[in-house]
Structure 1
């Protein structure tokens, strides 16, 4: 699954820079996560880094974007292949 940021977000700015896929961005009121870029850090880290650094625990799984570990790994491979192609 992709992750999502809930309304409990306090805009502390710690999640955005730790996201290896640049999936986190400042929305109109709070930070948001692009589900097309979020891999829950699969391929990069053992745990989602945004969840690790969030001081208010406002980053749960997003049931609207359910994905298996295999799908997340495939997304990671697509994203990193795209990065290599543009480098």
Structure 2
């Protein structure tokens, strides 16, 4: 029986990708499903490393002009977007 908060979703994927996901599970994951969900959540949700970086930079940002703050924020957005485009494992 599935949880009311979970929705079954049949998924087809290239064999190579499934093998890479399974290898990640074998290195310490719980299950193939958990690995896929974790990776999808990381893709759509905030990145813990980026949140930590933002907290670290907050005092530094206070000392910047509004223009420099906007530039730094724009650069961070580009980095996040670029990071999310990279293939699995890179």
TM-score relative to the length of structure 2: 0.28
Which of the pair has more CA radius of gyration?
2
**Structure with more contact order per residue of length (Cα contacts < 8 Å, sep ≥ 6):** 1
When you count helix as a share of all residues, which structure comes out higher? 2
TM-score relative to the length of structure 1: 0.29
